[in-house]
Structure 1
């Protein structure tokens, strides 16, 4: 499958300090980039606002060094403050149209697709890419409505031209099938963050997508 020019980032790392423990999460991020990760999202669900901002600044120094886009999960104000590439929001966060109206084109906007009805939402006009979540059940994200599976991903691919990021249970065994079923990017958490060699694991995953 060809790289989508609208979202030319096939290997997408979602990272948090907790998901990398006991390894240094910043070390994991840099090693993952060296292994082939194309884009990184910082997701810190249990961090204070001040703590999230400090982590975002530290990660941005690394992503800027390597020319890697950085996405901030939920916290639009932090994404704006550090001049992140984008923000990713869910159904219960600030809505895409509100973000676009306030900040224009300063942020790429990703939106979590939790049910098919969202594809008919007026919010889609402000969405740059969709996170199809989860493809498979995963311990790193439990507050979800639909487990899509590969068949669900195929169905969504036929219903929208928006870039699709597959997330949830993505690893060496599942990533290729999601990629071949129409995902434009594979978002990985544990498969890289829990790896003893995140650079090597990232390279292995990237090889499946190229």
Structure 2
């Protein structure tokens, strides 16, 4: 695995209640941690602030129990109120530079989704801590994407930046090794764990694939 000194988290779970298909998302998160997940992002796209905050606080109890960093997707207020490890934003969200200008976010982890090569040259990218390459392969869990990067796109991005690259998009046991070899420092998964019948086993198998 291409371990990055600034982002040593190899298996990155992106979780929402919806993606857990009726299972208790807190139980899924805990099982995933026990299976080998290193960092968790809570992504609740169609949830009001109050409900999102409630879920984030509940999840924070689980992640703190195991000393696992919690990232909040695109919600500065929830990130601050939960004192989460960091926040992940895309092109239509609060820009990284705006976040970094706020005292709370000066020392927090900020992730930024790369949808166009041109973003690698902008200031938003330069002040972000890690880059989400999204999606590597198209997926039903995220349908508002612009570029399907594929392995060649990921490899190209790898040559253009030394920032940690988190690959996301239809990642599973069959393609994990290829994505790592193409330059990813971390694999972000949704369905491969959230929708699995046994999330702990699914996480364990993915982590072992990463460590090969």
Normalising by structure 2, we get a TM-score of 0.97
Aligned to 1:204: 205
Moved over 4 A (4+): none
Partner of 1:126: 127
Q: Is there any run of 5+ residues in structure 1 with no aligned partner, and where? A: none
Task: Indicate the SS of the match to 1:186.
Answer: strand
Write the deviation string for residues 60-84 of structure 1: whole angstroms up to 9, x where unpaired.
0000000000000000111011110
Q: How many residues align?
A: 210
The aligned counterpart of 1:102 is: 102
What is the deviation of 1:106?
3.5
Counterpart of 1:112 in structure 2 is: 113
How far apart in 2 are the matches of 1:135 and 1:78? 28
Write the mapping of 1:19-168 to structure 2, written as runs, cut at 5 A: 19-103=19-103, 104-168=105-169
TM-score computed with the length of structure 1 as normaliser: 0.98
Q: Which residue of 2 aligns with 1:14?
A: 14
| Kept in 2: contact 1:97–1:125 (CA 8 A) | no
Unmatched runs of 5 consecutive residues or more in structure 2: none
Instruction: Report the 3-state secondary structure (helix = DSSP H, G, I; strand = E; otherwise coil) of the residue aligned with 2:137.
Output: coil
1:96/1:109 contact within 8 Å kept: yes
